[in-house]
Amino acid sequence: MITGASSGIGRGLAVTAANRGAHVGLIARRASVLDEVIAEIKGNGGTALPITADVQDAERLRAAAQELAKEFGPIETLIANAGTGTTTHAAQLQPSEVENVIQVNVFGVANSVAAVLPEMLERKRGHLVAISSLAAYRGLPKSGAYCASKAAVSALFESLRIDLRDSGIEVTTIYPGFIKTRLTANRGYMPYLMEVDYAVDKIIGAIERRKRSYSFPWQLATIVRAGLVLPGAMYDWIAKRNSYRE
């Protein structure tokens, strides 16, 4: 079950997983675009089911999970991928914009987990995967809402991983860097910008290896981790001059 499966990373994950033999449930809001993804998957001999749903709607997601399980059997893996972002300077901060990012990126992940977790617990088997971001580590310029949402997702999944230890359910948090999608289009300088196909291969590999967490590309991940130990004044100076340069 993959949320946000109509475009970008979600679409790439859906197509790749189906090509590797998985029965894939595609969750997204845009039915017409989902149909295009389904056509691509079936054209390659894969099996997939499109389900129109908004991750902000917990009841609809729960129904979608049940529909998928009825079609293909128990859900083995959830990839909570649906997300959104903004590039807004603090001077133009809009609470409604922040609320939307948090609703989609954080509550959307929580709703997705709640939709599949009860059956996984019953079977003592399953794999929960969340697509976070290297932006979760520290705040970036013009990205307050996005960074806050991904930090929340990371903390949520770390807590889930601890709670679900020895339950038979594995928990993976993925921390990608910048990926060339519509969300990153026209956002200025982004170091180590990756193509979707490259990112998808890295993510699928981490899922298959049952990694607890996986950060990439390693160059940017190393820089970001180093930023965690920098004094605040030094981090501010570096971040201001190197993030999202026009």
69-100 pLDDT, tens digit each: 999 999 999 999 999 998 889 899 899 999 99
Residues 6+ apart with CB under 8 A from 226: none
35-39, 128-132, 175-179, 187-191, range with the lowest pLDDT: 187-191
Least confident of 22-31, 134-143, 225-234: 225-234
Question: Is the confidence at residue 242, as pLDDT, over 70?
Answer: no
Looking at the predicted structure, is the pLDDT value of residue 1 above 80? yes
Name residue 184's amino acid.
T
Mean pLDDT of the chain: 92
By residue count, the chain amounts to 246
Extended strands (E) in 54-168: 77-80, 126-131
| 136-144 mean pLDDT | 90
Q: What is the mean pLDDT of residues 9-33?
A: 95
161: pLDDT strictly greater than 60: yes
Q: Strand 2-3 relative to strand 23-28: parallel, antiparallel, unpaired?
A: parallel
- In this structure, the dihedral spanned by the alpha carbons of residues 148, 93, 113 and 73, taken in order and rounded to 10 degrees, is -130
What is the band of 142 on the pLDDT scale with cuts at 50, 70, 90?
confident
Is the pLDDT assigned to residue 143 strictly greater than 80? yes
pLDDT band at 194 (very low <50, low <70, confident <90, very high): very high
**Which structural domain range is residue 200 located in?**
2-242
Strand-pair partners of 171 = 128
Q: In the chain, what is the straight-line distance between the N-terminal and C-terminal CA atoms, in Å?
A: 37
Per-residue pLDDT at 244 exceeds 50:
no
Catalytic residue selected from 137, 146, 175, 214: 146
pLDDT at site 237 = 74
Total number of domains constituting the chain: 1
Q: Is the pLDDT confidence value at 123 over 50? A: yes
pLDDT for res 246: 41
Mean pLDDT within 102-109? 98
Mean pLDDT, range 214-240, rounded to an integer: 85
Residue 62 has pLDDT above 50, yes or no: yes
Output the six-digit token pair for 67.
């529909």
Q: What residue type is 176 in one-letter code?
A: P
The pLDDT-based confidence of 170 (bands split at 50, 70, 90) is: very high
Q: Specify the pTM.
A: 0.92
At residue 204, does pLDDT exceed 90? Answer: yes
Q: For residue 138, give the CATH number of its domain.
A: 3.40.50.720
pLDDT (average), residues 143-163: 97
Check if 146 is active-site.
yes
Q: How far is CA 105 from CA 44, 63, 112, 204, in A?
A: 31, 20, 11, 20
Task: Report the C-alpha gap between 79 and 200 in whole angstroms.
Answer: 12
Greatest Cα-to-Cα distance within the chain, rounded to the nearest angstrom: 55
